[in-house]
Structure 1
Amino acid sequence: MNRRISLMSSILPAIILLTTLANGQPSGGFGRSPQINPDKTVTFRFNAPNAQDVKLSVQSEKAPVQMVKNERGSWSVTVGPVKPDIYPYNFIVDGVQVMDPGNMHYFPNERFKGSLLDVRGDSSLIHSMRDVPHGTVTYELYPSAEGTTGTVLVYTPPEYDKNPKQKYPVFYLVGRTTDTEETWFKVGKANLILDNLIAE
């Protein structure tokens, strides 16, 4: 019994600390962000009660857009209609660029970190999710010439593992400047494009 109490007394401060840290993060209770509306306008929200100025910087707009603060300290703005595509964006909070804490999708880049807005269209978009067989994307490690370990993403087409003797061409996609190995897939949707092209 004493051991159980001792164990709980050592764990409890850690639980309290984690709870405190979680409560210190921006909460999603102020509404979904981004919210894509039926008319293809998009509503962005950001919870920052102590901020003096918040703007939205999104690739679909020519310049940063001023956001409006409500009585609860939540900032919001609606833009568009937005043409179906994928757009990086972030919030400029008192001059500092920050990602959207309400959006788990981000732009993989070594220089900047932006959130991603995916405005879906019909199935005519080449990168759209269609009802076709899908390939597999795997993460592989390799030793680099610099003595470090690099990461590469490998796409294999549908039925690849079921036909080990089938030969396939190799297509290399290399990111530019500060893009990471994930950019072609998380932003460029290369795997969905290849799925759709193979199905055609």
Structure 2
Amino acid sequence: MNLSPLNERFVLHFGEMGSRWGVNRTVGQIYALLFISPKPLNADDIVEQLGMSRSNVSMGMKELQSWRLVKLVHLPGDRRDYFEAPKDVWDIFRTLAEEKRRREIAPTLTLLRDALLETPANEEERHAQARMREMHELIEMSNSWFDEIHRLSPETLEGLMKLGAKVQKVLGFADKLRGKDE
């Protein structure tokens, strides 16, 4: 790698974490490099800085584009394709959450909806459907919550996240108030 020690540690870490996040090491490293780069990079820049093959970089860029985590940029007077990561970390967070939902949650909801439409053949299937219904309701509730959170401005979302456990205290207070009314 042709990076400073700090940048190399960051890029290597993202490569290691990539497999835990559903992408390979190469994709994680490319993304980390684009994320910390002060300027858009072309494939040759990435090959040079990371010491990867051109084909690995090309495939990694396609993967990152499919995740909508990089933007294609053209520089005046240069015919090459340049890439950059979105500047706003909240945009990155939202994009990742949307893509995870589209790739992982949506297919599960489809399966659950289809399974819940079937007529159970026996008690075992009735029990299984009851459990699936619970899962479906939880995922749907989470999806609705995600939609509401997604509509918040980054400033409001940041404030909400900073509240942390204080939200639980407010909700606990609300539960106590409801208990007095009942």
Instruction: Place the TM-score, normalised by the shorter chain, in its bin.
Output: under 0.3
Higher relative contact order (CA 8 A, sep 6+): 1
**TM-score, length of structure 1 as denominator length:** 0.24
**TM-score, length of structure 2 as denominator length:** 0.26
Q: Which has the higher helix share?
A: 2
Q: Which has the higher strand share?
A: 1
